[in-house]
Structure 1
Amino acid sequence: MVRSIVVGAGMVGLATAWHLQEHGVEVTVIDRTGVAAGSSWGNAGWLTPGKTIPLADPSLWTYGPRALMDPDAALHVPFRVDAGLWSFLARFASHGTHGAWDRTMASLTPIDRMALECFDELTAGGVAAETRKGPFVIGFTEEAHSKGFLREIEGVIRHGQDVPIERLENPRELAPQLSDAVKVAYRLDGQRFIEPGPYVQALADAVTARGGKLQTGVAVRSVDSAGQPGVTLADGERMIADSVVIATGAWLPQLARPLGVKVRVQAGRGYSFTVDTDEPARHPVYLPFQRIACTPYQGRLRIAGTMEFRQADEPVQPRRIQAIVNQARTLLTGLDLDDRHDEWVGSRPVTPDGLPLVGATRAPGVYVAGGHGMWGIVLGPATGKMLAERIVTGKTDPVIAPFNPLR
């Protein structure tokens, strides 16, 4: 029996394990904490290939400097001496051009186009969790604020995606949580959403139901291929297999850098919380100018936002949650933003060029799957499918060729 060890029990790692099982591989998934313990639990849960786009764009050059001076801005960078962080930011900003955006979008489009089908494949294969269709309601306080969003959608369509969008005259029919301050709104179709924590747990359950092993609370100290691919645990035990996949999100460099993966992965931390609503929340709401995403979640509304460039393991910064609250107060109604539940921070793995890291390392039989930035949930199943095929067949599909981790 061919065996594989997957390090990381988030969406990407578990999807890779599931697809390896489809090829008859025996899998063991290891995680230092538990299922969906990283950025897979408290995110907005959006399956929106129409919004899976480069994070750096030309607006960064005007928005970024202003954001650094605004404590409530969605982008936050702490003022500190951190050469690695400022080096990352310089490289990240260098991709904020029209040409770089188009090149990155061209590389993302093939995997974007297959993303939703891969969720359907998981459902057909026994993963007991549903995806829910939109529409998504996109709101702005004034016409001028919508221009950047519409330009992004036009770019996505130009690169080959079908993204139905239309103007709404009365957005509160679909999203009663929007206040009267929202004057301009659009309806975005062709996208879906999930409750991410329960979904990833269902995926873990499917992997174990098919014979996979799941070991949580187990820390991996290193990965190598000395004699045979394997992992060394914190207690010194070495586990071997025919292949190893590192899918540890923002912590990926700790294990992958010694194996030739030199692309920096920076934690772009996002925050979220849930609140009760006077009227049931039925559809996701997006406030692009404020970078706030709202999703129906277990009878409440989950409100997520911010991009905070800090170290992955730093504690929660309450000021960032308050920043989301301050931005949301005038834009949302019928909910008590002071009675918050499930306050959370998760570290999204951001690369300077906006492309994931999916493929082989310099160590034979060792692979990585990560660096998806904000898009690990929507691209996780497609990533797992493509990487599993690469591991089993030795052939790299053109879909993931731009994501070479040794670039």
Structure 2
Amino acid sequence: MSKSIIIIGGGIVGLSTAYFLQKEGHQVTVIDKSDITSGASFVNAGYITPSHIIPLASPGMIRTGLKMMFNSSSPFYMKPRWDPDFFKWSWYFHKSSTKEKVEEAIPVIKDINILSRELYTDIKKSGDLGDFQLERKGLLMLYKTHKCYEHEIKVAKKASFLGLEVKELGKQELSIVEPNIAIDAEGAIHYECDGHTTPTEFMPKMVEHLKKAGLQIKTNEEVVDLTEKNSQIQSIKTTKTTYTADEVILAAGSWSGILSKILDIKLPLQAGKGYRINVHRPTGISLPAILMEAKMAVTPMNGFTRFAGTMEFSGINDTIRKERVLAIANGAKAFYPELEIRADEIANAQTGMRPVTPDGLPYIGRCQRLKNLTFATGHAMMGWSLGPATGKLVSEIIDGKKTSMHIDAFHPERRFN
């Protein structure tokens, strides 16, 4: 039966959800506070990463964050501030960062990433969006030190055990797979299971397709209030009008926690800011890579190479910290010594807010109290990778179908203590 559905949020998760719901014949409206041309879904590394099996909440991360707290150019920066929500989230993060919980999360993260990788391929084959970059060249984890190698080889062995394609590369092998640029690294772990895309190409094509399919996409319209009655969301008030719908999906990224508070729902979530630099000239880089010591990503996209990274917890804001952008440029230079990122390229850096849960797993599922509310948020650094899978799972939830994978681990009201 066709339902009227409001999706709050027009990022990769919201649009992917709209994509799969419209295929089931539902009447869908997407509402976004921006014009859907910027933000995390546009500035990310574009990775589709089954290899990223370790959640952000892992042993030692809080200690790392505390060490870096007073260095605003560090890869993992937590701005000192008085924020009770952040304190509570940090405590939950600490409680989640155990070896046991990481081991439980690994197969779940792998499964949802593989599901999403397959769905990206299905979208490409469907022709709905026309042609767009979708490559399966894998991902290089480049390392300079034995310490980073030891860390990553443990992950690689787990990934290989789970059936993911992994290979070790030495210096000579690196020069073979990347012949057009010098790399200052001791070697790499090559996750051949991974793919990549160009987000700034994919997102506009998805918006255009959804509009042609008859969906309503409301931009520059912010949700300011939500009312409830009889255990359901009754209305959605925006800066322009008021909506009603059979189903409401909260896919507002880092703003999801703020909107949840209106409904007296506590959704532990923090905004993790990331940065990107685009280089619109030949770099010689042909393979996506994580520069391990610099903790940053490099992606050869359609028409440019993207350098992205850092995780900054400083609340929701669009402030660009120049020292963090410079750290990305310097990190790139350390691994690609022949590459010079110009001042104008650094000046054109952009940022986006990634919604981070305390345990590194997204919130996907129905609200217990409000029967017509479904959550689809909290994907942290894997938002791009997990967009289609989340959209597919949400469409199955709405239709009461058996989900494509078990989603208990993603329950939006799970306990963290």
> Same fold judged by TM-score > 0.5?
yes
Q: Go from structure 1 to structure 2 and tell me whether the alpha carbon gap of 1:269 and 1:195 turns closer, same or farther (over 3 Å shift).
A: same
Cα deviation, 1:154-202, whole Å, max 9, x if unaligned, reads 23344x3423223243313333576453122232212110011221221
Corresponding position of 2:365: 359
Say whether the 8 Å CA contact 1:43–1:196 is kept in structure 2: yes
Cα deviation, 1:279-324, whole Å, max 9, x if unaligned, reads 4332212112221100112332210011100112242222211222
Q: What letter is aligned with 1:166? A: E
Corresponding position of 2:95: 94
Q: Go from structure 1 to structure 2 and tell me whether the alpha carbon gap of 1:356 and 1:68 turns closer, same or farther (over 3 Å shift).
A: same
Q: Displacement, 1:371?
A: 0.4
Q: 1:272 aligns with which of 271, 276, 280?
A: 276
Unaligned runs of 5+ in 2: none
Aligned-partner Cα distance in 1 for 2:370–2:75: 39
Unaligned runs of 5+ in 1: none
Q: Paired residues, what number?
A: 406
Aligned-partner Cα distance in 2 for 1:257–1:395: 30
After superposition, residues 153-232 of structure 1 pair within 5 angstroms as 153-158=156-161, 160-168=162-170, 169-175=172-178, 179=182, 181-226=184-229, 229=233, 231-232=235-236
1:370 lines up with 2:377 in the alignment: yes
Corresponding position of 1:257: 261
Q: Displacement, 1:85?
A: 1.8
| Partner SS state of residue 43, structure 2 | coil
| Partner SS state of residue 50, structure 1 | coil
Identity of aligned residues (%): 27
Q: Displacement, 1:375?
A: 0.7
After superposition, residues 128-143 of structure 1 pair within 5 angstroms as 128=130, 129-143=132-146
Q: Displacement, 1:351?
A: 0.4
Corresponding position of 1:114: 115
Aligned-partner Cα distance in 2 for 1:161–1:256: 38
Say whether the 8 Å CA contact 1:72–1:324 is kept in structure 2: no
TM-score w.r.t. structure 1 length? 0.92
Q: Go from structure 1 to structure 2 and tell me whether the alpha carbon gap of 1:101 and 1:176 turns closer, same or farther (over 3 Å shift).
A: same
User: After alignment, is 391-400 or 234-243 more displaced?
Assistant: 391-400
Q: Displacement, 1:112?
A: 2.2
Q: 2:151 aligns with which of 142, 148, 155?
A: 148
Aligned-partner Cα distance in 1 for 2:134–2:54: 21
User: After alignment, is 266-275 or 315-324 more displaced?
Assistant: 315-324
Aligned-partner Cα distance in 2 for 1:24–1:9: 19
Q: What letter is aligned with 2:57? A: A
Corresponding position of 2:104: 103
Corresponding position of 1:318: 322
Say whether the 8 Å CA contact 1:51–1:153 is kept in structure 2: no
1:347 lines up with 2:353 in the alignment: yes
TM-score w.r.t. structure 2 length? 0.90
| Partner SS state of residue 375, structure 2 | strand
Q: Go from structure 1 to structure 2 and tell me whether the alpha carbon gap of 1:178 and 1:90 turns closer, same or farther (over 3 Å shift).
A: farther
Cα deviation, 1:321-346, whole Å, max 9, x if unaligned, reads 12222333222233322331641111
Say whether the 8 Å CA contact 1:3–1:241 is kept in structure 2: yes
Say whether the 8 Å CA contact 2:27–2:215 is kept in structure 1: yes
Corresponding position of 2:9: 8
Q: Go from structure 1 to structure 2 and tell me whether the alpha carbon gap of 1:34 and 1:154 turns closer, same or farther (over 3 Å shift).
A: farther
Cα deviation, 1:185-226, whole Å, max 9, x if unaligned, reads 232212110011221221122211211111101111123443
Q: Go from structure 1 to structure 2 and tell me whether the alpha carbon gap of 1:162 and 1:338 turns closer, same or farther (over 3 Å shift).
A: same
